[in-house]
């Protein structure tokens, strides 16, 4: 095994990869050209995403639905090219519980990095390329998202996505809206909760706007940045 590759079982979520991993190589696929071995790699990736993940089954359902927009991004490392280390899909999917405010319902979905390769910037590489594809190739203004994963929500916020505040306030009917916001702030700042998943509900909604003008529009419609949300609670985010 080379110096830059991870040792141990990359599908084991307790395993920590050593530093120094090179950036991933990204591949893109449309609906009709996903190779069989890539699908196999995705199955392995998604079954390791989190406990009882159904992400592979959801991907196959997405493909069968033949959405207008569909682009699969796959990350591999040059020294272990047979493994799919990460993936994301940019696709049209209209959720009835989301108000798209007049924008096309294009989402970032099926986002996952193998446990052994997390926190090495592969997730950031994937979402950066997804944004480039959506904004430059498709000329969209915003990418939507929704997630029940505290770790992913923390990362999305760090990477500039805005949270829909009402979806945080209403995340549990058993707590007051104010408490739900406080708990959310804890989930996205305390590393203990990286693997915490909201047990029910439609998830926390997100929007990643292409530019400041679009961001301002979303802020006027109830969206908030991670920094602003934490600052309002008096939580210092400076490094």
Ligand X SMILES: CC(C)(COP(=O)(O)OP(=O)(O)OC[C@H]1O[C@@H](n2cnc3c(N)ncnc32)[C@H](O)[C@@H]1OP(=O)(O)O)[C@@H](O)C(=O)NCCC(=O)NCCS
Q: By CB under 6 A, name the binding residues for ligand X.
A: 49-50, 111-113, 118-124, 147, 149, 151-152, 154-155, 194-195
- Type and span of the H or E element at 23: none
Q: In whole angstroms, what is the distance from residue 19 CA to residue 119 CA?
A: 10
The two beta strands, 204-209 and 162-164, are antiparallel
**DSSP line for 30-75:** -TT---HHHHHHHHHHHHTSSTT--HHHHHHHHHHH--SSEEEEEE
Residue 120 C-beta: closest distance to ligand X, Å: 5
Which residue number, 124 or 217, has a Cβ lying nearer to ligand X?
Answer: 124
Q: In whole angstroms, what is the distance from residue 155 CA to residue 150 CA?
A: 9
Residue 118 C-beta: closest distance to ligand X, Å: 3
139: left (phi > 0), else alpha (psi -120 to 50), else beta?
left
Which residue number, 7 or 176, has a Cβ lying nearer to ligand X?
Answer: 7
Which residue number, 15 or 217, has a Cβ lying nearer to ligand X?
Answer: 15
Which residue number, 23 or 81, has a Cβ lying nearer to ligand X?
Answer: 23
Residue 232 C-beta: closest distance to ligand X, Å: 20
Which residue number, 28 or 124, has a Cβ lying nearer to ligand X?
Answer: 124
Name every residue whose Cβ is closer than 8 Å to that of residue 198 and which is 6 or more positions away in sequence. 148, 149, 150, 171, 204
Residue 116 C-beta: closest distance to ligand X, Å: 10
Residue 176 C-beta: closest distance to ligand X, Å: 26
What SS3 state is found at 126? helix
């Amino acid at each position: 095994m080379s110096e830059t590759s991870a040792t141990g079982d990359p599908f084991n979520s307790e395993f920590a990869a050593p530093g120094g991993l090179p950036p991933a190589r990204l591949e893109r696929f449309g609906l009709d050209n996903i190779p069989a071995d890539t699908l196999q790699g995705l199955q392995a990736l998604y079954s390791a995403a989190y406990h009882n993940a159904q992400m592979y089954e959801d991907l196959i359902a997405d493909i069968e639905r033949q959405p207008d927009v569909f682009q699969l991004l796959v990350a591999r490392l040059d020294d272990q090219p047979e493994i799919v280390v990460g993936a994301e899909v940019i696709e049209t999917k209209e959720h009835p519980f989301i108000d798209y405010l007049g924008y096309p319902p294009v989402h970032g979905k099926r986002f996952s990095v193998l446990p052994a390769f997390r926190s090495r910037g592969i997730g950031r590489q994937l979402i950066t390329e997804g944004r480039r594809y959506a904004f430059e190739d498709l000329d969209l203004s915003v990418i939507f998202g929704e997630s029940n994963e505290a770790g992913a929500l923390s990362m999305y916020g760090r990477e500039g996505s805005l949270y829909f505040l009402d979806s945080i306030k209403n995340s549990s009917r058993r707590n007051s809206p104010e408490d739900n916001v406080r708990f959310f702030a804890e989930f996205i700042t305390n590393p203990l909760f990286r693997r915490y998943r909201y047990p029910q509900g439609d998830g926390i909604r997100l929007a990643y706007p292409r530019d400041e003008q679009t961001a301002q529009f979303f802020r006027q419609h109830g969206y908030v940045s991670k920094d602003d949300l934490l600052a309002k609670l008096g939580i210092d985010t400076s490094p």
